[in-house]
Amino acid sequence: MKLFDVYPLNNITISRALGSYVWDDQGNQYLDMYGGHAVISIGHTHPHWVKKIEDQLKQIAFYSNSVIIPLQQQLAEKLGKLSGKTDYELFLCNSGAEANENALKLASFHTGRKKIIAFKKSFHGRTSLAVAATDNPAIVAPVNETENIVFLPFNDTASLQEYFEQHGETIAAVITEGIQGVGGINIASDDFLQAIRQLCDQYGSVFIADSVQCGYGRTGRFFAHDHAGVDADIYSMAKGMGNGFPIGGILIAPHIRPKHGMLGTTFGGNHLACAAALAVLEIIEQEDLMKKAMVNGSYIIEQLKAIPDIQNVRGRGWMIGFDVPDAIKDLKKVLLSEYKTFTGEAKPNVIRLLPSLALNKEQVDDFLQRLREAIKFIQTANPSS
Ligand SMILES: Cc1ncc(COP(=O)(O)O)c(C=O)c1O
């Protein structure tokens, strides 16, 4: 049987990983500035995370949500403590799309309304409502098309206000990333997030903070939206939550009340996933990783701004992007093939840096050196460009 060919692949087989490095089956070591798409939060195969999963595996890996699973409560308490959202409630699922799907559904149950406001260049996942709220028609199947989603320009408070003034009573939710990831590292301005909060309060709509990529400490605060000093009604989470063990979830503000049967999933909140997620939070706390992300992220942003060959350096903590001009358009490819460095991208010309929050200063300097050399390599190979 062949694999269903939906992923454009690098011709590399990763067979081992530790911290911010991965090794291929030929023994080549790579610096991982991509974190497997922002998933690696505490570093690959962190020993505490491995031990916690191993120990749990020997006890019980899975039982359904028909019994009490104390690990879920422990996870909820730790999440409340680290995020500061102590009075929110936790629903666990398995992925980012599923988290957003549940968030949107819950907003509709809560308000009794159907309309969702999403924004240009958003990405919220590939399940039916999450993909409908994603601004990329190429991945929306005909069956997912719905008039219930409205796309407004990102960071445009005036058009948001105008839409609310005309249709406020029909709006179930506004969903936005704190920093758009797939859309190219676009930071939601404080004013914009504050306006969403105020309009949702005024019209009784639900503010959903998609924190699947930008959350979990990646920007130096637990949620990227925290930088604007606002609380959302629902936060969706996934990527960094399990450091590679599949788990997602939503944090729900106390005014949104549950009912038995309202949401549900077979695998969500299983013992093994909770053990992995607890290990992640313990390491974020013990190793002060949010602060580390803030300090090293600010440092690299300053250093990147001093490299004249790249443009529009932007981001927060370890969610960073810069534009790659045409003359060095192969930069990502060259970084990988010649300098053994994984980076992320956003089409058409953005390089994204989404490494583990545990990346240290020496590794940051090592990356900067590789980047400068890769730029020189391209310029030497194409002197006219
Ligand atoms: C902001 C955002 N939301 C949702 C998702 C979907 O997450 P998943 O791939 O785990 O379904 C992603 C994935 O890249 C994302 O970046």
Q: Single out the residue in 252, 286, 320 at which a domain terminates.
A: 286
Ligand 1 center from residue 158 Cα (angstroms): 28
Torsion of CA 212, 16, 8, 127, to 10 degrees: -30
Q: Are residues 97 and 222 in the same domain?
A: yes
* Ligand 1 center–CA 39 separation, angstroms: 10
Q: What is the pLDDT of residues 27-61, one digit of tens each?
A: 999 999 999 999 999 999 999 999 999 999 999 99
Ligand 1 center–CA 213 separation, angstroms = 6
Residues at CB less than 6 angstroms from ligand 1 = 95-97, 100, 123-125, 177, 181-182, 210, 212-213, 238
* Predicted confidence band of residue 385 (pLDDT cuts 50, 70, 90): low
Q: What tens digit of pLDDT does each residue of 274-309 get?
A: 999 999 999 999 999 999 999 999 999 999 999 999
d(CA 70, CA 289): 26
C-alpha of residue 23 to centroid of ligand 1, in Å: 26
Using one digit for the tens of pLDDT, what is the confidence trace for 262-279? 999 999 999 999 999 999
| pTM greater than 0.85 | yes
Cβ contacts of 177 within 8 Å, gap of 6 or more = 122, 123, 124, 183, 188, 209, 210, 211, 212, 213, 214, 224
Helices and strands in the chain: count of H runs, count of E runs: 11, 17
Q: Dump pLDDT digits (tens) for 116-131.
A: 999 999 999 999 999 9
120 & 38 share domain: no
Q: Is there a single domain that holds both residue 76 and residue 183?
A: yes
Which one of 268, 286, 304 terminates a domain? Answer: 286
* Residue 384: predicted pLDDT: 67
Same domain membership, residue 264 and residue 193: yes
**Does one domain contain both 253 and 116?**
yes
Asked if residue 2 belongs to a domain, the reply is: no
Structure tokens at 249: 């979830």
If one counts the domains in the chain, the total is 2
Please report whether residue 7 resides in a domain. Answer: no
Task: State which ligand 1 atom lies nearest to the alpha carbon of 214.
Answer: 1
Which CATH number fits the domain that encloses residue 209? Answer: 3.40.640.10
pLDDT in tens, 137-183: 999 999 999 999 999 999 999 999 999 999 999 999 999 999 999 99
Cα–Cα distance, 149 to 185 (Å, whole number): 23
Is there a single domain that holds both residue 327 and residue 200? no
